[in-house]
Structure formats: C-alpha cells, structure tokens
Amino acid sequence: MKKKQLSDNELLDMIDECKQADLDIDYIFKLQFADNAATLVTDRSGMYYNQKRANQLLANQLI
C-alpha cells in the first residue's frame, strides 16, 4: 500500500486545521507515521513528501 502525495491545497488545508487546533504540523505527521507502521504501510514516500512540502509551505507563509 502506498500513501499518496497531497496537493498544495490539501496540505494548506491541513496546516490551517492544525493552526486552529493549536497543533504542530510535525506532530500530525508523527501520528501518521505511527499509524502507517501499525497498519503495515510499506511505501511511505508520499508521507515523506507531504511532511517536507508542508514544512516548505509553512516557511513560505512566514516570509
């Protein structure tokens, strides 16, 4: 099973929801990685991409 790469709009929505809930976006990805390990997701490339891209989008918002 493979996790899909999210679009920038999907990631921005996730970032906004995290901000509203006062959650760190990296915390959400840690939970997703733990869930993937528990459910035997073998291809995590989409997750790594999503985490990296979300942090890039956050950095761009701060500029």
Confidence of residue 63 (pLDDT cuts 50, 70, 90): low
Domain of 45? 8-62
User: Strands, DSSP E only, in 2-63?
Assistant: none
Number of domains in the chain: 1
Nearest to 3 by CA among 53, 60, 57, 44: 44
pLDDT at 33: 83
* Rounded average pLDDT over 17-28: 91
- Domain contains 17: yes
- Domain contains 1: no
Q: Tell me the two tokens of residue 2.
A: 């493979």
Nearest to 49 by CA among 15, 2, 13, 6: 6
Nearest to 58 by CA among 29, 20, 26: 26
Q: Count how many residues are written for the chain.
A: 63
